[in-house]
């Protein structure tokens, strides 16, 4: 049996999108994990250039949801959400069903998604809802500062003498700190990110996505992320949403809810808007590219055995358009 996957990305955070409805029976969780570990490997060991994870699309039984998205990280662990991935899944399901605005089932919520104006020619873009938000240590799987119930803009002395962290689940766990440019580009992010995701530390035993954020100007931030289950990525959509939330909450003197925030990252840019709902709950809009790079087909048995010799590929041409778009960001 052949498996068809689409290589996609949002801000350079890249995935293989696997529609399980192509199979007579969906793959088992063990099969999905093995596939993700095999095909995502970098440096020529995976399928083509590898990926940060696999986006698994399934049918949804939920009324109003056009489909379901599961996120398998490159190391085979499953994440509750993926903001950059959701935009590409929204594009995939929207095209299949000729719909512009709908919901997608994710692990904890059926999230609103919507097609928006292209970022540039052949750079289609989507807006996706990021929620639910929680600061609760139990939800985050966090054991820090003598079992503090929340950590918002506070030092975690075990991690760093100087940095102040905020821990927030959106709903996957994030640790956010605002830093100067030197710290943004320095070694601390790698040190803390690797340590918090070693599976042995007592602060985040299940791991956490760690982001360093530099404020570039009013409603303009740069986010660099070390992702749980992956490592350094070009961008992490939920991290950029969590960082935008903390930017609004901690910089009320210069910004507020419902304002568009320009978020740059090593792979490009997105826009975010932070909202506070009627019940005081926070939620974010994440708006960015949903790029389909190529379509890859290979025998399933071979993909599961990490043999890519019979893989065939059709390139869409969208990556060139995306790279041209990113070029305009650096020359603007």
Ligand X SMILES: N[C@@H](CCC[C@H](N)C(=O)O)C(=O)O
267 belongs to the binding site for ligand X (CB under 6 A): no
Segment lying near ligand X (by CB under 6 A), choices 38-46, 103-111, 229-237, 291-299: 229-237
Can you tell me the distance from the alpha carbon of 110 to that of 93, in angstroms, rounded to the nearest whole number? 14
Residues that bind ligand X (rule: CB under 6 A) add up to a total of 17
Contact with ligand X (CB under 6 A) among 33, 68, 228, 271: 228
Both tokens assigned to 271: 């826009």
Segment lying near ligand X (by CB under 6 A), choices 56-64, 97-105, 134-142, 231-239: 231-239
| Site track for ligand X across 112-151, x = CB under 6 A | ----------------------------------------
82 belongs to the binding site for ligand X (CB under 6 A): yes
User: In the annotation, is 40 catalytic?
Assistant: no
Cβ atoms < 10 Å from Cβ of 3: 23
Residues whose CB falls within 8 Å of the CB of residue 77, separated by 6 or more in sequence, listed in order: 207, 228, 229
Contact with ligand X (CB under 6 A) among 14, 129, 214, 227: 227
> Are 49 and 9 contacting, i.e. CB atoms less than 8 angstroms apart?
no
14 belongs to the binding site for ligand X (CB under 6 A): no
> Are 224 and 12 contacting, i.e. CB atoms less than 8 angstroms apart?
no
Helices (H), the chain: 29-40, 83-97, 137-140, 181-185, 188-196, 237-250, 300-304, 318-331
172 belongs to the binding site for ligand X (CB under 6 A): yes
User: In the annotation, is 236 catalytic?
Assistant: yes
* Smallest distance from ligand X to CB 182, Å: 25
Residue 324 assigned as binding residue = no
With the C-alpha atoms ordered 44, 49, 54, 56, is the resulting torsion angle positive or negative?
negative
- Residue 280, Ramachandran bin (φ over 0: left; ψ between -120 and 50: alpha; else beta): left
236 belongs to the binding site for ligand X (CB under 6 A): yes
13 belongs to the binding site for ligand X (CB under 6 A): yes
230 belongs to the binding site for ligand X (CB under 6 A): yes
Contact with ligand X (CB under 6 A) among 3, 17, 71, 93: 71
Counted residue by residue, the chain has a size of 332
Segment lying near ligand X (by CB under 6 A), choices 37-45, 71-79, 133-141, 152-160: 71-79
234 belongs to the binding site for ligand X (CB under 6 A): no
197 belongs to the binding site for ligand X (CB under 6 A): no
Among candidates 100, 99, 92, which has minimal Cα distance to 127? Answer: 100
Residue 234 assigned as binding residue = no
CA dist list (Å): 45 to 69, 104, 278: 26, 32, 49
Residue 12 assigned as binding residue = no
Catalytic residue among 82, 167, 208, 321: 82
CA dist list (Å): 66 to 15, 54, 171: 20, 19, 21
Beta bridge partners of 25: none
Q: What is the CA radius of gyration of the chain?
A: 19
CA dist list (Å): 253 to 26, 218, 247, 250: 51, 10, 11, 8
166 belongs to the binding site for ligand X (CB under 6 A): no
Contact with ligand X (CB under 6 A) among 76, 83, 124, 268: 83
Contact with ligand X (CB under 6 A) among 131, 166, 238, 291: 238
73 belongs to the binding site for ligand X (CB under 6 A): yes
Helix, strand, coil percentages in the chain from 3-state DSSP, rounded to 5: 25, 40, 35
Which residues participate in the annotated binding site?
A: 13, 73, 83-84, 172, 209, 227-228, 237-238
Residues contributing to the site for ligand X (CB under 6 A): 13, 71, 73, 79, 82-85, 172, 209, 227-230, 236-238
């Amino acid at each position: 049996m052949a498996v068809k996957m689409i290589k996609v990305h949002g801000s350079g955070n890249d995935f293989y999108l696997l529609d399980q409805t192509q199979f007579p029976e969906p793959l088992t969780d063990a099969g999905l994990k093995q596939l993700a570990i095999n095909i995502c490997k970098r440096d020529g060991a995976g399928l083509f250039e590898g990926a940060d994870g696999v986006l698994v699309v399934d049918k949804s039984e939920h009324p109003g949801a056009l489909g379901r998205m599961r996120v398998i990280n490159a190391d085979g662990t499953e994440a509750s959400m993926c903001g950059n991935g959701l935009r590409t899944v929204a594009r995939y399901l929207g095209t299949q069903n000729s719909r512009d605005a709908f919901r997608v089932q994710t692990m904890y919520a059926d999230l609103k998604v919507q097609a928006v104006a292209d970022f540039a020619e052949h750079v289609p873009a989507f807006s996706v809802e990021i929620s639910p938000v929680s600061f609760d240590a139990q939800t985050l799987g966090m054991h820090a500062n003598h079992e503090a119930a929340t950590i918002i803009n506070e030092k975690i002395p075990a991690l760093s003498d100087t940095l102040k962290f905020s821990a927030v689940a959106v709903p996957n766990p994030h640790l956010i700190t605002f830093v100067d440019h030197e710290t943004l580009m320095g070694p601390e992010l790698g040190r803390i990110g690797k340590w918090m995701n070693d599976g042995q530390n007592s602060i985040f035993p299940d791991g956490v996505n760690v982001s360093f954020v530099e404020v570039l100007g009013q409603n303009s931030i740069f986010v660099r992320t070390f992702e749980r289950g992956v490592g350094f990525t070009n961008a992490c959509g939920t991290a950029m949403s969590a960082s935008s939330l903390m930017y609004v909450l901690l910089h009320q003197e210069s910004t507020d809810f419902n304002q568009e925030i320009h978020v740059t990252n090593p792979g490009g840019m997105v826009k975010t808007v932070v909202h506070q709902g009627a019940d005081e709950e926070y939620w974010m809009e994440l708006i960015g590219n949903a790029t389909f790079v190529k379509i890859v087909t290979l025998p399933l048995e071979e993909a599961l055995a990490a043999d890519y010799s019979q893989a065939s590929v059709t390139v869409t041409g969208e990556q060139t358009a995306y790279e041209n778009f990113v070029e305009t960001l650096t020359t603007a």
